[in-house]
Structure formats: structure tokens, C-alpha cells
Amino acid sequence: MMTYWNCGKIPTVSAPTPGKRKLRSEQHSGRKDGAARLIARAVLPTRYGVFLVYGFSGSKAGTGAIALVCGRGNRKTTPLVRIHSQCLTGDVLTSLRCDCRAQLEFALKAIGQARSGVLLYLPQEGRGIGLMNKLRAYELQDRGMDTVEANERLGFPADPRDYGFSAQVLKRLGMTTIRLLSNNPEKARQLERSGIRIIQLVPCQPRVSRVCHGYLRTKKHKMGHLLGDI
């Protein structure tokens, strides 16, 4: 179990600490047990506070996560957790077709203001179908399909993401009881099946462009996301 730090204060991560020796042993131990392996950690100052960033990998190819951690764990505080899937078009290129960047910024601000929390950033582009397939889905959406219909036309489920590895990372961080910042009940169900206790599902509904309202309506009516008036 790891210790995490107060947002806004810059912790010292020095080279000769026992933690660093442990990092090296995990990187080169060749473990095959499928558990989340800590690869690296560093201080990450952001607009929303100073976080510790941890890099984790799993035994399956392509399995990994980045954890931005804020606050100091204790039994009196339940951490606020956001699990965010990578979205190059939204997070980086500021696309208005989705609400991903708005949710990412909303989550970082909320976690930075909370007493403790973590944002897990997962390499699950396009709800797990990959960047090129996401662009193919966009092309189908330009022809009139919604996001679910486009995925299914390409031979994918509406949402094939798996959150088992996210649960492993949360356990490594000592966060087995959490408040989950999400509109997705399926995400909560998967985490609970993997041993994470969720005491509150906190809505993640930032203000977004009207451009993506159709996308959000599809998520609400076809994927069961808990969204308000869209």
C-alpha cells in the first residue's frame, strides 16, 4: 500500500529512497501474476495543483495506467476517483464531438480541491477500439449513425472497456473504498465486482458545447449513462 500526498505541496522524490529500489525490483522482476506493477513516479505540477504521477503496467500487452494522485490517505477521508479513458481528439485536439476534455478538466479540478483523490488515465482510445477505428467510426457518424451504431457496424460492442486493471491500480494505491466521479453505472459495477467499494457515485457533468449533445443523448438512452436533461 502506498502513501499519497497533499495537492498543492511539492513532495520530495529523491533517488536513494527505499521506494526507488522497490521500483527497480518491480520493473525487472518479471512478475507474471497480472498485478499492477509500479514503473515510475514523479512530481507533476498542473493548473489544478501539484500531483504525484505514477506509471503502472500489467502483464497483458497494452495494459497500463497513469495515476495522478492528490492528498494523503487516511481512514477518515474517502478519496475521490476519476477513471478517464484516453481521447486524443478530445483531450489533446480539443474536439467538440465528445465531452472528454471537459470531463478531464472537471475531474482534475475536483480532485485538486478534494482532500484526497486520484485520476486514472487509461490507454483506451475510442472506448477501447483504438484511434484508427475511432476515426472510422467518426466517418460513419458523419453519414448519420450515432456512436453506438458506428461501433457495431465496425464489429465492436458499444463499449468494450474493462476496468479490472483499474481496480488493481486502486488497490496498489490503498484506495479500496472510494467516491467515484462518473456517470457510467457499468464502470461502477465492474469496479465493485473487482473488490472496490463505492460509497458514492458523483456526477461528472461539466458544461459542454451543444455540438456534442447528440452524442450525450446516445450515451444516456443507449448506454445507460446517468445524465440530466440533454
Active site residues per annotation: 159, 161
Assess contact for 170 and 176: CB atoms under 8 A: yes
What is the residue whose three cell numbers read 481521447? Answer: 87
Task: Tell me the H-state helices in the chain.
Answer: 18-28, 100-113, 125-128, 131-142, 147-153, 164-172, 185-193, 213-223
Residues paired with 122 in a beta bridge: 85
DSSP single-letter state for residue 79: P
Rounded CA-CA distance 3/83 in Å is: 19
| The pLDDT of residue 31 | 45
Q: What is the pLDDT along the chain (230 residues), one digit of tens a residue?
A: 555 545 555 555 543 333 443 434 354 444 444 589 999 999 999 999 999 999 999 888 778 999 999 987 667 789 999 999 999 999 999 999 999 999 999 999 999 999 799 999 999 999 999 999 999 999 999 999 999 999 999 999 999 999 999 999 999 999 999 999 999 999 999 999 999 999 999 999 999 999 999 999 999 999 999 998 87
| The pLDDT of residue 26 | 56
| The pLDDT of residue 228 | 84
| The pLDDT of residue 61 | 73
Q: How many CB atoms lie within 10 A of CB 173?
A: 24
84: cell is 478517464
Q: Which helix (H) or strand (E) holds 42?
A: strand 37-46
Cα dihedral 16→116→119→31 (10° resolution): 40
Assess contact for 190 and 182: CB atoms under 8 A: no
In three-state secondary structure terms, 73 is coil
| The pLDDT of residue 28 | 42
Distance of CA 123 to the CA centre of its chain: 9
| The pLDDT of residue 134 | 95
Residue ranges of domains in the chain, CATH in brackets: 51-124+161-223 (3.40.50.10990)
88: cell is 486524443
